[in-house]
Structure 1
Amino acid sequence: MTDTSNTRSASGEAQGAPRSRLLRLTRYLPLVAPVLLWAVPCWVLLYGGQHWPLPVTLTGTALFALGLIGMPLAMARGHGRRQQDGAAIVGDTLLGAGWVLFTWSVLLGVLLRAALTVAGVGDGQDRARVVAWAILGVTAVLLVWGYAEARRVPRVRRVEVRLPRLGAGLDGTRVALITDTHYGPLDRARWSERVCETVNTLEADLVCHTGDIADGTAERRRAQAAPLGTVQATRARVYVTGNHEYYSEAQGWVDLMDELGWEPLRNRHLLLERGGDTLVVAGVDDVTAESSGLPGHRANLTEALNGADPDLPVLLLAHQPKFIDRAADHGIDLQLSGHTHGGQIWPFHHLVRLDQPALAGLTHHGARTHLYTSRGTGFWGPPFRVFAPSEITLLVLRSPQESAVS
């Protein structure tokens, strides 16, 4: 026994060494990322051969330094212990603006300058100034457009999904999906009302919210969430927790949604019956629930399906797409998720794909399991959406026949 234990211990230490080094490196990311976010555009715009007048260079450098210092400070005050909404708005806006400016400083700083050089346009200083003005112009346009996209009522995306086990009596069942509303520092009570009014025009049998209702406690964001109580469904309104609920007293959100007339599907299911056929509608807590330390909060699909007829089709609500592996193992017919925001601000979707198996839309997993991932109804943090539009989704469930996505 002693020898085996020592062998395992040595093996574990060998495997753990690279992992521990990686963990040590990731600890420096909060320090390195803001520096890169502001230093790269500063260099490309001011010191990349443009030779601006000294007052321009000094003023620009001071603004970048202010962004570098002010962004993390504002975010810490806004999202840390103090929870100051004004500071959160400033920090989040600087984060979004910095990300867009960084992205296009890298892209245009390399590609446009190379194209101008190949085309023989001007000398080095002229090319550098053209690149600088192009970066500033593209960034300004994308930020204005991205802000408008984030604050607008989402367009309705209609999707038909064919489920081979769905009975004919349930053909045409209408499921409305909203998710990631992220009520937060920017007061969006009126936006929330308009979203709910749009959902009500869909005349859905089932309305689902797959989590991340807000950033902040239920008590603090109650006014923005209250319009959810006006949402109408002919059969049921169901909700599951997202990871952000577990940053903000999740049980308070479960209680508020119950108060507003939504059924929190916390590792449980209900039955939707129509035309003599039955659909199991199940839900699980977010995968981060167990690590939150809240008693009774965890993702448990076996518990959610307990007592359900295994021959019936199952619609599962799970906040994160990564739950799809467990869903496929259980033969779930359709999982509805959010969480990814479609990346929210391009090209952040490349980082999202490192963590999630799907970014947006309808995908197929395992023998019969479909996953629909919404790009989200609201936005998190930076009030911008760039090349990742928000959505309210209407899924029309079809028994075995042709399906299409609009």
Structure 2
Amino acid sequence: MTDTSETRSADSAAARATERSRLRRLLRYLPLIAPVLLWTVPCWLLLYTGQHWPLPVTLAGTALFALGLIGMPLAMARGHGRRQQDWAAIVGDTLLGAVWILFTWSVVLGVPLRLALTVAGAGDGQDRARIVTWAVLGAAAVLLTWGYAEARRVPRVRRLEVRLPRLGAGLDGTRVVLITDTHYGPLDRARWSARVCETVNTLKADVVCHTGDIADGTAERRRAQAAPLGTVQATHARVYVTGNHEYYSEAQGWVDLMDELGWEPLRNRHLLLERGGDTLVVAGVDDVTAEYSGLAGHGAHLAGALHGADPDHPVLLLAHQPKFVDRAAAGGVDLQLSGHTHGGQIWPFHHLVRIDQPAVAGLSRHGTRTLLYTSRGTGFWGPPFRVFAPSEITLLVLRSPQRPPTP
């Protein structure tokens, strides 16, 4: 009976792995397919499905969609390619966010609304089609305005208590602040960065963690935006690990700058947090993409990060991508802190994130011991919008099962 159950479990795991492999292969073609779908679908639904707009309106609308289809990839190539032109990145990223929202709500709102109006017998076909068009355009305008404000504001603080069974009573109440995915980039956010750091300092952290993707661009280019990180305060340590975006932009330069700003890069190593006779191992690993970067000495090595640590001590691990949690669970890690996903950033992109990552946001359990906390990120990447995926600064208060009773 046990053999049969194990066989079924293995078959199920193999089937899931095969499905993920197929989806990942499909994702390789997205850069070619996605722009065409993103621009042609809303163009068709808003202009050509029974609206019968005057010819000048139809021609002007079609021309705008055609310009977007051509201009967005060109702008993104100039902005994020070899030329690294910030103005082009801003244009391309903004167009990408705008058309994603327009595409989504043309389908999610436009199609059901058209069906509902038809069933209700409201007006003739042209009236219904035009109502749908204006409804979609209105919803998109509201979401773009709100999403831009959400992306540019200082994140709200998300507070939660995390119980770690192996945490000693002396470390009960340890305050860990997590920021991640700041993505300093083409839009200058030096003032925003300073305000984020001011907020972090109000939380009176024992340990402040940055789990990577500091910026898009080299450390030299984004130094002014990153400089406020040097003002962050913690009673014990400020620790940092690399994200995948560092490996697009001279990762060693970012490691050196964070060290210069007083942060301790945990590149496959650990430090100890000791209080009240108890010890917490605070470890970090390079991002999983590091091994493909060609940089000597860069790669994600959990064994190296924990080398020399007492296996009886609880482990807090920093790893940029949530999917590292499989290795963390196998290695007996108690709590992994990650970012990378942005919570999807613009709904419903989180469904695509789930293809590659085991968690999108929040606290989850993996294996018998390991907890994973996935932050939605402190900043934003690319499109300057956040829709139904709010940014966050996270305060995690670690709790011990031997917590002394409150007097």
TM-score range, shorter chain: over 0.9
Number of aligned residues: 385
Please list, as runs of the form range in 1=range in 2, the aligned pairs for 1:208-219 lying within 5 A after superposition. Answer: 208-219=209-220
Please list, as runs of the form range in 1=range in 2, the aligned pairs for 1:4-403 lying within 5 A after superposition. Answer: 28-400=29-401
SS of aligned partner of 2:289: coil
Looking at structure 1, the residues matched to 127 and 20 of structure 2 have their Cα atoms a distance apart, in angstroms, of 47
Looking at structure 1, the residues matched to 22 and 119 of structure 2 have their Cα atoms a distance apart, in angstroms, of 43
Contact 1:319 1:337 in 2 (8 A): yes
Partner of 1:8: none
Counterpart residue type for residue 345 of structure 2: Q
Q: Output one character per residue of 1:304-340: Cα deviation in whole Å (capped at 9) or x when no partner.
A: 0000000000000000000000000011000000000
SS of aligned partner of 1:272: strand
Contact 1:162 1:401 in 2 (8 A): no
Question: What is the deviation of 1:401?
Answer: 6.7
Partner of 2:14: none
Q: Output one character per residue of 1:251-289: Cα deviation in whole Å (capped at 9) or x when no partner.
A: 000000000000000000000011111100000000000
Q: Output one character per residue of 1:29-74: Cα deviation in whole Å (capped at 9) or x when no partner.
A: 3222101100001001110100000110010001001100000000
Deviation larger for 52-61 or 22-31? 22-31
Counterpart residue type for residue 175 of structure 2: R
Distance 1:279 1:21, change over 3 A: closer
TM-score normalised to structure 2 length: 0.93
Partner of 1:11: none
Distance 1:102 1:400, change over 3 A: same
Deviation larger for 34-43 or 105-114? 105-114
Question: What is the deviation of 1:216?
Answer: 0.2
Looking at structure 1, the residues matched to 147 and 25 of structure 2 have their Cα atoms a distance apart, in angstroms, of 35
Contact 2:155 2:391 in 1 (8 A): yes
Looking at structure 2, the residues matched to 199 and 254 of structure 1 have their Cα atoms a distance apart, in angstroms, of 21
Looking at structure 2, the residues matched to 66 and 129 of structure 1 have their Cα atoms a distance apart, in angstroms, of 23
SS of aligned partner of 2:323: helix
SS of aligned partner of 2:105: helix
Alpha-carbon RMSD across the aligned residues, in angstroms, is 1.6
Counterpart residue type for residue 272 of structure 1: L
Looking at structure 2, the residues matched to 186 and 332 of structure 1 have their Cα atoms a distance apart, in angstroms, of 37
Looking at structure 1, the residues matched to 274 and 32 of structure 2 have their Cα atoms a distance apart, in angstroms, of 54
Distance 1:356 1:70, change over 3 A: same
Consecutive unaligned residues of structure 2, counting only runs of 5 or more, are 1-18
Counterpart residue type for residue 361 of structure 1: G
Q: Output one character per residue of 1:199-252: Cα deviation in whole Å (capped at 9) or x when no partner.
A: 000000000000000000000000000000000000000000000000000000
Contact 2:375 2:392 in 1 (8 A): yes
Question: What is the deviation of 1:21?
Answer: 9.8
Contact 2:168 2:402 in 1 (8 A): no
Looking at structure 1, the residues matched to 381 and 24 of structure 2 have their Cα atoms a distance apart, in angstroms, of 26
Consecutive unaligned residues of structure 1, counting only runs of 5 or more, are 1-17
